[in-house]
A = this chain, B = another copy of it.
Amino acid sequence: MKPDSSQLVYDGKLVDVTLERWDEHEREIVEHPGAVAIVAIDREGLLTLVRQRREAVRKELLELPAGTLEEGEAPLESAQRELEEETGLTGGTWRGVVAFYTTPGFCRERMHLFFAHDLERGTSSPADDEQLELVRWPAGEIELHLPEIEDAKTLVGLLLYFREREATKAG
């Protein structure tokens, strides 16, 4: 599946826009290298989230630790790097859970979601344009906090995690 023609119409720093022709239709597409997000549970059974200012939406949001894939980087490697940078969490047991498109109507971004358990706490080193506040919740209390979440990847991750916990309890 590929376009009849493709033209770069905006060459930005994070975001590029391509104009593609598909049969008689034109599509404007936001390019993106892909991303990772982590449902991160430490040895004390606490989930770590990050609260940060999201200029694009004019709001502080509470989100899963996440980041953008760097060139040549595998999703798991990227996820482990981003988690350590943003939260100081390392080690643990990792599992790829699902990959999905964040907004496939106009953007290429594919998000790889991981569950990581038994993580060890350490010192974070966020990028200097990231002002992050770490928020920790007991993993068993996630459902109570769901109404505080306004970010798609975080909703997907926490709902899948919650569903798995319930299935384990029931089984």
Interface residues in chain A, defined as those with a beta carbon under 8 Å from any beta carbon in chain B: 1-3, 9-10, 12-15, 17, 19-20, 22, 25-30, 35, 53-59, 61, 63, 66, 68, 98-111, 129, 149-153, 155-156, 159-160, 162-163, 166
For the complex, give the distance between the alpha carbons of A108 and B72 in Å.
28
B129 touches A25 (CB 8 A): yes
For the complex, give the distance between the alpha carbons of A112 and B106 in Å.
17
Chain B contacts for A2, CB-based, 8 A:
58
Choose among B10, B56, B108, B149 the residue that contacts A9 (Cβ–Cβ < 8 A).
Answer: B10
Given contacts A25-B55, A57-B108, A59-B104, 13 further A-B contacts (CB under 8 A): A1-B58, A10-B12, A15-B30, A27-B55, A27-B56, A35-B105, A54-B105, A61-B104, A63-B104, A101-B151, A103-B107, A155-B159, A163-B163
For the complex, give the distance between the alpha carbons of A13 and B106 in Å.
11
Can you name the residue of chain B whose Cβ is closest to the Cβ of A103? B102
Chain B contacts for A155, CB-based, 8 A:
98, 100, 156, 159-160
Choose among B55, B59, B63, B102 the residue that contacts A3 (Cβ–Cβ < 8 A).
Answer: B55
| Across the A-B interface, the 8 shortest Cβ-Cβ residue pairs | A10-B10, A159-B159, A102-B103, A54-B104, A152-B152, A27-B55, A29-B56, A25-B129
A29 touches B55 (CB 8 A): yes
